[in-house]
Amino acid sequence: MAKLWAMPWSFVNYFNRAMLDGIRPVRQTEVTMATQDTAAGARTDLDAFWMPFTANQYFKQDPRMLVEADGMHFTADDGHRVLDATAGLWCVNAGHGRQEITDAVARQLGKLDYGPTFQMGHPLPFEFAERLTHHLPEGMDRVFFTNSGSESVDTALKIARAYQHARGQSGRWRLIGRARGYHGVNFGGISVGGIVNNRRLFGPLVGGVDHLPHTHDLEHNAFSKGQPEWGAHLADELENLVALHGADTIAAVIVEPVAGSTGVLLPPKGYLERLRAICDRHGIVLIFDEVITGFGRTGTAFAAERFGVKPDMITMAKGMNNGSIPMGGVAVSRGIYDAFMHDRAAGPAIELFHGYTYSGHPAACAAGIAAMDIYEREGLLTRGSELEAHWEKRAHELASAPNVIDVRNLGLIAGIELAPRDGAPGQRAFEVFRRCFDDGLLIRVTADIIALSPPLIVSEAQIDEIFSTLGNALHKCA
Ligand code: PLP
């Protein structure tokens, strides 16, 4: 395997910017793509798969292939075991290879492989939606199913606008997002999202969007444990946007309670409460994008519970069925749902013109119900809070490691921010990522921020292993 340090730095840097910004890297030189041994022994050309959010040309010269997974570990194609400190992409909350989920999916495919949910029904989505409501904030007990986090976000934005219309406020169509927000890759999500390079190549976006400032500030909040003390006042920027645009033009505000994709940005104490109060004051729908924070990541089923702030809608995906089958959902408050359902005499008229062929797919729902069984039986939705003290202690021991300029944590999430190399942002963290992978640990990096979010089955000994392997890598890459 070619070592990162053999790579031209300018290219590696470009790759890291691509990870944060979504730029497609371009190399000047002709490259020959690798072939890969498959499990069946045949040699596969790697050209055909256009990989998402990946420097395709770089990866295909030096692939990092995972071929098996079980519990807390992946196995790479060269046989080395890799401890998963990222739950895949924040989704495999109950750990890999859960037989119960496999069996439930196989059984369901054998019984009813597909069933439409347009003007028809089958039992699974009704059952799964009902199960989800046991863990959602009180009164948020209606669930619309999608196939991903991106679709959940665009669904929530559409519901918000349609809801304002349904309650006679059709002038409210503006949507407010936040700088450094990530809400997936569809047009609504990139419009309210705050990552410049995820947006700029794609022409005119959804109109009527504005953004709050983000809350990340190392000058005030470096090395916070849990929620930072400083920054609640940043929510008041919403009042300024209301003053600028007029409350009667604003449909919804969407934020991640904890932003993951731009490097673990934690909500300052009081910030989400203030957003809630301003939204209430002005009739604005508050959406929490819980695609990564849902299903136990912050130590409660949803971050809304952890922070004691109830939004009007929650988007979800990832941990919903333990990452086993693409699935997402939007939970809405009863008030929003009822605004669409007020006319019982309407007959077969459709209340919301929106939905996906695979909304409530039987196999995805079966996987979800099995995942909920596991989460509930093993207490995984609250395990993050039990492990948080140990996690926090070990994470903050890295404060003295070379080049660390911040450590932040909450639930089973940690962000470790490194000082960028002069003129080469992202290079240092990517080098640490490669070193960790070779040493048997999967971490995730965004520019110079390392994000950790292991499966919720992680043991204290594995937490120790995560931070000692990472600490060694930080020293080796100093
Ligand atoms: N919203 C948030 C907060 C996310 O972190 C993500 C993905 O990481 C998404 C939306 C998009 O989800 P998906 O990749 O399933 O479309």
DSSP-assigned states of every residue in 281-327? HHT-EEEEE-TTTTTTTTSSSSHHHHHT---SEEEE-GGGGTTSS--
Domain coverage including residue 69: 9-96+380-476
Q: Are residues 464 and 416 in the same domain?
A: yes
The answer to whether residues 293 and 418 belong to one domain is: no
Q: Count the Cβ atoms, other than its own, within 10 Å of residue 262.
A: 22
- Atom in ligand 1 nearest the alpha carbon of residue 89: 8
Q: How many angstroms separate the alpha carbon of residue 149 from the centre of ligand 1?
A: 4
Give pLDDT, residue 27. Answer: 37
Spatial CA neighbour of 155 closest among 34, 329, 378, 277: 329
Is residue 2 assigned to a domain?
no
Entry pTM: 0.93
Q: Of 325, 355, 377, which residue constitutes the final position of a domain?
A: 377
Same domain, 193 and 234: yes
Cα of 317 from ligand 1 centre, angstroms: 8
Reading phi first (left if > 0) and then psi (alpha if -120 to 50, else beta), residue 114 is in: beta
CA of 318 to the centre of ligand 1 (A): 8
In a domain, 405, yes or no: yes
Structure tokens at 418: 């490194």
Task: Choose among 270, 261, 280, 293: nearest CA to 183.
Answer: 261
Convert 402-433 to b/e letters by CB count within 10 Å (16 or more is b).
ebbebbbbbbbbbbbbbebbeebbbbbbbbbb
Say if residue 196 is in the same domain as residue 49.
no
Among protein residues, the one whose CA lies closest to atom 9 of ligand 1? 184
CATH number (domain holding residue 120): 3.40.640.10
31: tokens are 């490259």
Q: Give the C-alpha separation, 475 to 461, whole Å.
A: 21
Mutation probe of ligand 1 site: the residue of 192, 261, 444 with most atoms within 8 A of C-beta:
261
Q: What distance in angstroms lies between residue 153's CA and the mean position of ligand 1's atoms?
A: 8
Burial class (CB in 10 A: 0-12, 13-18, 19+), 87: buried
State the Cα–Cα distance between residues 235 and 278, nearest whole angstrom: 8
**Residue 314 to residue 294: CA distance in whole angstroms:** 9
The reported pLDDT for the residue numbered 121 is 97
Interval between CA 461 and ligand 1 midpoint (Å): 30
Domain shared by 149 and 38, yes or no: no
State which ligand 1 atom lies nearest to the alpha carbon of 181. Answer: 3
DSSP one-letter code for 435:
H
**What is the pLDDT at residue 44?**
73
Residues 338 and 418 in one domain: no
* Res. 20: pLDDT tops 80: no
Supply 180's token pair. Answer: 């450094």
Q: Which residues line ligand 1 at a C-beta cut-off of 6 Å?
A: 148-150, 153, 182-184, 256, 260-261, 289, 291-292, 317
In angstroms, the CA 134 to CA 43 distance is 48
Shared domain for 289 and 417, answered yes or no, is no
Domain termination residue (choose one: 349, 377, 405): 377
Q: Which atom of ligand 1 is nearest to 151's Cα?
A: 16
The predicted structure's pLDDT at residue 33: 56
Is residue 4 situated within a structural domain? Answer: no
Number of Cβ within 10 Å of residue 348's Cβ equals 5
Domain with 461 in it: what CATH number?
3.90.1150.10
Question: Given a cut of 70, is residue 260 above it in pLDDT?
Answer: yes
- Residue 431 inside a domain? The answer is yes
Write the pLDDT tens digit of every residue in 363-396. Answer: 999 999 999 999 999 999 999 999 999 999 999 9
Residues 393 and 265 in one domain: no
Other residues' Cβ atoms within 10 Å of the Cβ of residue 127? 15
Any domain includes 1: no
Within-domain flag for 240: yes
| Distance between Cα 94 and ligand 1 center (Å) | 19
Residue 3: inside a domain? no
Same domain, 86 and 131: no
Domain boundary among 342, 377, 412: 377
304 and 205 both lie in a single domain: yes
| Residue 478 CA to ligand 1 centre (angstroms) | 32
121 and 13 in a common domain: no
Q: What pLDDT, in 10s, does the model give residues 22-61?
A: 333 333 334 445 676 655 555 579 999 999 999 999 999 9
User: What is the percent of the chain with per-residue pLDDT over 90, rounded to a whole number?
Assistant: 87
Please tell me the total count of domains within the chain. 2
- How far apart, in Å, are the Cα atoms of 8 and each of 4, 222, 303? 9, 32, 41
Are residues 262 and 357 located together in one domain of the fold? yes
| Within-domain flag for 324 | yes
Task: Report pLDDT digits (tens) over 418-461.
Answer: 999 999 999 999 999 999 999 999 999 999 999 999 999 999 99
Cα 34 to Cα 37, 58, 80, 470, distances in angstroms: 10, 10, 20, 29
Tokens of 191: 């419009």
